Each structure stands twice: as structure tokens, then as C-alpha cells.
Amino acid sequence: GRAWLLARQKDSSAALNLFREGVQKNSSKPASWTNLGRFFQQSKRYEDALFCYRKAISISPWYWNAYEWMHEYFEESPDAYNLLGNYYYSKGDYTTAAAEYAAALKADSSYAKAYSNLAYTALEINMFEEAIRYFKKAHMNDPLVYPAKNIALVLIDKADQLLLKQE
């Protein structure tokens, strides 16, 4: 409403105050955080925008506008693609999730989170060799976060789940 009108009229200070007021009054609503993030984006305050979008997503992982606007302005950021991948993964759309994780790797080929997420996605569709390959790449790019021991535990857990389904 009024905040966007002020922003269009180039009264950035007054607009920012209204957006912040909206967040203070509605801090548990993702739309408040997303609007503030969108304002920051348009003001080229990208780190602040990303913070707001992440806050909106932490309140409601299903709030699509936060993902969409974050992706629009952070196309070269692997985090944006990774978060989109997480969104699709959580909905069971593993094909689209994998495509977003692959886009994250296109933006940064050493992005270990995307390799790990691709591994988990491959496990969901029982592509074990591919999962192992992605887990190894995650480990290679960030061995402290993705130690080989944890990878083995994940694979053992998945094997146990499959055995229980057969019984």
C-alpha cells in the first residue's frame, strides 16, 4: 500500500520506515518480511534483502513469493537455487529439485550443499551410485561439514529403510 507508493515517489526513507513498521507489527507473517526484502532488493541492498527472504522462509517454508523474488535477483547465487531445490524436495518433486541443485552448481561448482542435496534426492529415487558420487563430491568440497563417516551412516540408514519395506 502506502509504503510502495512512497517508494515509487522516491521517498525511500519514509517507505523504509513503513516497511519496518509493518515487520514490527506483523513479525510472524512472511509477507511482511518479503515486502521489506523486496524493497531492499529494489534499493540494491542485496544482503538485507536476502536476510528478509530467509526470515520469511523460516516462518513459512511454503511462502512461494519469498523464493520467487529471491531467485529473480540472485540468479548467480547458489543459495537461491539451493533453497528453491529444498522447496521442491519438500513437496516430493525430486526432478525439479535436482534441476535447481544443478543450477546451484552451475553458479558455483564447489557448492557442497548442492552436491549433498543432490545425493539425498538421488537416494529418494533409489539411484544409489549417483547418490554416492554426489556425497563424495560434497565431502571433497567441504570435508568438515560432510565427513565420510556421516555419508556412510546415511547410506546405511537408507538401506535399512528399504529392507524394512521388503518385510
Residue 97: CA atoms inside 13 Å, Cβ hemisphere, count? 23
For the stretch 16-67, pLDDT in tens is: 999 999 999 999 998 999 889 889 888 878 778 888 988 888 888 777 777 6
In angstroms, the first-to-last Cα distance of the chain is 58
Cα–Cα distance between 97 and 53 in angstroms, integer?
Answer: 19
How confident is the prediction for the chain on average, in pLDDT?
A: 86
Q: Which of 38, 22, 87 is nearest to 79 (CA)?
A: 87
What is the rounded distance in angstroms from the CA atom of residue 31 to the CA atom of residue 139?
A: 37
| pLDDT tier for residue 72 given thresholds of 50, 70 and 90 | low
Biggest alpha carbon–alpha carbon distance for the chain: 67
* 71 pLDDT above the threshold of 70: no
